[in-house]
């Protein structure tokens, strides 16, 4: 007997992973690849984290399960990080350490939304929000955003989509790099409070901003937001698979029960390393300065390529460019760039199923030599 596949598994692929696979196959066949597709720092974990991990391995008896919400010392250090960065005092018992920010999203969605709830996500926006919500039986409400609102949602746009149960915002965002101002975030928080909409703020790119620091939704704690963060981006620890979230009081116990049953706990080795990662700020801020230099090189190269519309790159390490003068099929264009130029980039359909055929996301999280070489190769592409 053949068992059927559950309807919840019928979701779209994460196209950047398809690009990564194609790039790997090219490299395995002997071709060169410049990686501008993946949102991953080319650097490793800070030296302080590596040293702490080595020390933990030397005393292997310490690598047992932790509480479902993580090591007390790590939660206390995360609380201090929020106080230092945003001036917001958070009780450590409201912090859940998770198996990456992705699991934080899953736990947050499970604890907050029921089947059929209407949750707003931005397009363009991180595609896995949409796929996770669909897999959980929620109704995903697309909010088209663009240059007129600096690629961020506004209360006026939310009014147009009907009643909502939740809103997910990302600042700085993936794929655009745009970030909300203090006033813009305040307006969204106020709107959510007035309409009883759960605000979930993805802040995993906090620490990577180029002019003004990104404000945190925690400064609007009266609307009971869920704030999600990660050690993957600023802390350069993608493969360590560690994230965290700050929960409103009423969700602490429900999320803890879900975490106990779904994951038990995050990696203990990663948690011990993460405590020490906070001591690597000089090293990590140096990465941000490199991203800023890369951003300027790539931005100039895309303008020369004729990309006249690029989302404001306030933070993160992405440029989201309109390539409609080159193609009406961004997936095909990215395949051609990989085949003919050895450049891996991500088609916009990952982030905007409707308008993404005319856009491409470039990551500049690599080294400056890679970005410079990519710009040189792109300059040979026919306009």
pLDDT digits (tens, 9 = 90+) for 98-147: 999 999 999 999 999 999 999 999 999 999 999 999 999 999 999 999 99
DSSP string for residues in 328-369: S-HHHHHHHIIIII-EE-EEGGGT-TTTGGGEEEEE--S-HH
Query: With contact defined as beta carbons under 8 Å apart, do 317 and 295 qualify?
Result: yes
- Mean pLDDT over 243-262 rounds to 98
pLDDT value at position 8?
82
Interior CA angle at 35 toward 33 and 38, to 5°?
145
In sequence order, the 6+-apart residues with CB closer than 8 A to the CB of 300 are 375
The residue behind tokens 């003919």 is: 340
Residues in the chain: 383
pLDDT value at position 246?
98
pLDDT value at position 174?
97
DSSP string for residues in 266-288: --HHHHHHHHHHGGGHHHHHHHH
| Strand-pair partners of 120 | 141, 167
C-alpha to C-alpha distance for 92 and 244, rounded to whole angstroms: 11
Q: Is the pLDDT of residue 3 over 80?
A: no
Structure-block tokens of residue 28: 């395995």
Residue 172: cis peptide before it, omega within 30 degrees of 0: yes
In sequence order, the 6+-apart residues with CB closer than 8 A to the CB of 58 are none
Q: How many CB atoms lie within 10 A of CB 250?
A: 9
Output the CATH code of domain 7-45+282-378.
Answer: 3.40.640.10
Identical fold between 7-45+282-378 and 47-279: yes
- Mean pLDDT over 64-73 rounds to 97
pLDDT value at position 2?
65
pLDDT value at position 337?
97
Output the CATH code of domain 47-279.
Answer: 3.40.640.10
Q: Is the pLDDT of residue 233 over 80?
A: yes
Give the predicted TM-score (pTM) of the model.
Answer: 0.95
Which secondary structure element, helix H or strand E, spans residue 198, and what is its range?
strand 198-202
Residues 313-323 pLDDT 10s: 999 999 999 99
Q: Is the pLDDT of residue 53 over 60?
A: yes
Q: Is the pLDDT of residue 69 over 80?
A: yes
- Mean pLDDT over 41-55 rounds to 96
Residues 345-363 pLDDT 10s: 999 998 999 999 999 999 9
pLDDT value at position 85?
93
C-alpha to C-alpha distance for 241 and 354, rounded to whole angstroms: 31
Residues 176-190 pLDDT 10s: 999 999 999 999 999
Q: Is the pLDDT of residue 42 over 60?
A: yes
Residues 206-230 pLDDT 10s: 999 999 999 999 999 999 999 999 9
Domain definitions of the chain by residue range: 7-45+282-378, 47-279
Q: How far is CA 261 from CA 22, 122, 255, in A?
A: 36, 31, 10
């Amino acid at each position: 007997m053949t068992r059927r596949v559950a309807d919840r598994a019928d979701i779209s692929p994460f196209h950047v992973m398809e690009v990564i696979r194609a790039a790997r196959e090219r490299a395995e066949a002997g071709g060169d690849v410049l990686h501008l597709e993946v949102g991953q720092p080319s650097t490793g974990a800070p030296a302080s984290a590596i040293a702490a991990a080595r020390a933990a391995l030397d005393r292997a008896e310490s690598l047992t399960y932790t509480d479902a919400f993580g090591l007390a010392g790590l939660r206390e250090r995360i609380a201090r990080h929020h106080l230092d960065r945003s001036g917001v005092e958070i009780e450590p018992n409201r912090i859940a350490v998770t198996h990456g920010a992705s699991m934080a999203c899953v736990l947050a969605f499970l604890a907050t939304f029921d089947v059929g709830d209407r949750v707003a996500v931005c397009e363009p926006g991180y595609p896995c929000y949409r796929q996770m919500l669909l897999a959980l039986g929620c109704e995903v409400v697309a909010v088209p955003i663009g240059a007129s609102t600096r690629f961020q949602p506004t209360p006026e746009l939310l009014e147009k989509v009907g009643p909502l149960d939740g809103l997910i915002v990302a600042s700085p965002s993936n794929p655009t790099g745009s970030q909300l101002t203090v006033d813009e975030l305040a307006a969204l928080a106020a709107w959510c409070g007035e309409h009883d909409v759960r605000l979930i703020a993805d802040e995993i790119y906090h620490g990577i901003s180029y002019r003004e620091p990104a404000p945190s939704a925690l400064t609007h704690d009266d609307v009971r937001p869920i704030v999600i963060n990660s050690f993957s981006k600023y802390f350069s620890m993608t493969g360590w698979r560690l994230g965290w979230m700050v929960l409103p009081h009423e969700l602490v116990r429900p999320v803890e029960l879900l975490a106990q049953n779904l994951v038990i706990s995050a990696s203990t080795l990663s948690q011990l390393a993460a405590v020490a990662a906070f001591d690597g700020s000089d090293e990590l801020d140096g990465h941000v300065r490199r991203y800023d230099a890369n951003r300027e090189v790539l931005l100039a190269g895309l303008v020369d390529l004729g990309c006249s519309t690029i989302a404001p790159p306030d933070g993160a390490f992405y440029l989201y460019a309109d390539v409609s003068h080159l193609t009406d099929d961004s997936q095909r264009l990215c395949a051609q760039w990989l085949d003919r130029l050895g450049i891996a980039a991500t088609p916009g359909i990952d982030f905007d199923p409707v308008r993404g055929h005319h856009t491409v996301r470039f990551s500049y999280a690599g080294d400056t030599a890679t970005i410079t070489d990519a710009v040189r190769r792109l300059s040979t592409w026919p306009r």
